[in-house]
Amino acid sequence: MAHGILLSGSTDVDVMVHGLVSYQFFGHTVWITTTHVSLLLVLLILCGFAIAAGRAVKKGTEVPGGFQNVVELIVEKLDGMANSTMGNHASKFYNYIGTVFIFILFSNISGLLGLRPPTADYGVTFPLGVLTFILIHFNQFKHQKLKDIWADMCSPLPPWLPIWFPINVISEVAVPISLSLRLFANVLSGTIMMALIYGLLGIIATAWPAALHVYFDLFSGAIQTYVFCMLTMTYINNAIGEEA
């Protein structure tokens, strides 16, 4: 569009997702977008790191040194974060929380590598929210009795008067949406702001935007990763309930 409202001064401000290759999928035209490419690159980096970490641990020594030390530190920190929130339920969720944490963190800071962060696409963050939603309710049905869940869903009123039931259903459905939208909007706003600075200021945007990168990519990305994992753990912990 020639008359961009916001970006009238420049033509090279680019924050949108672009389609690269289109193909037919059961009669629909589907696109391979820039999100897929950056997601693939992030996954390749993570896979390489994971393979290297696995090798380092497999021939690990009693006293860790070098790379093994780093890997053990990361795993210890992630497990400690899960332990501090979930208590004795934590050990079942180390895998999920650690994986999600590392994935979101690398996705958020991949803006530093010149990629468009994969988490700045709602198609990436919404599945993460849905995964959390499924985990919450799977654990709720696994650990609580059906009667207690029903009483919980009618909560301010007694269980035989389910007037509040629809409202509670809406608030349950809002959980994955707000989780994913929070992550998406934070990363997207950082991406847009960096693109505006580079596109509108042009040649005077040298060196000093590095400070903004530290804020928008590193700080904001790390905080949002932490928040996503903390909220996931808190919701799952609530779903499990007090018993067991």
Task: Please say which residue, 56 or 86, places its beta carbon nearer to other proteins.
Answer: 86
73, with CB counted inside 10 A (0-12, 13-18, 19+), is exposed
Please, what is the angle between helix 122-143 and helix 94-109, to 10°?
Answer: 170
182 binding other proteins? (CB under 8 A): yes
1, with CB counted inside 10 A (0-12, 13-18, 19+), is exposed
x/- map, 191-210, other proteins, by CB under 8 A: -x------------------
Task: Please say which residue, 3 or 147, places its beta carbon nearer to other proteins.
Answer: 3
185 binding other proteins? (CB under 8 A): yes
Task: Give residues 50-109 in contact with other proteins (rule: CB under 8 A).
Answer: none
181 binding other proteins? (CB under 8 A): yes
Among 186, 217, 237, 239, interactor with other proteins by CB under 8 A: 186
10 binding other proteins? (CB under 8 A): no
3, with CB counted inside 10 A (0-12, 13-18, 19+), is exposed
Please, where are the H alpha helices in 110-164? 122-143, 146-153
213 binding other proteins? (CB under 8 A): no
**CB of 62 vs other proteins, minimal distance in Å:** 30
Write the DSSP symbol of residue 155: T
At residue 33, the 3 state secondary structure works out as strand
Binding residues for other proteins, rule: CB under 8 A, are 3, 5-6, 15-16, 178, 181-182, 185-186, 188-189, 192, 223-224, 226-227, 230-231
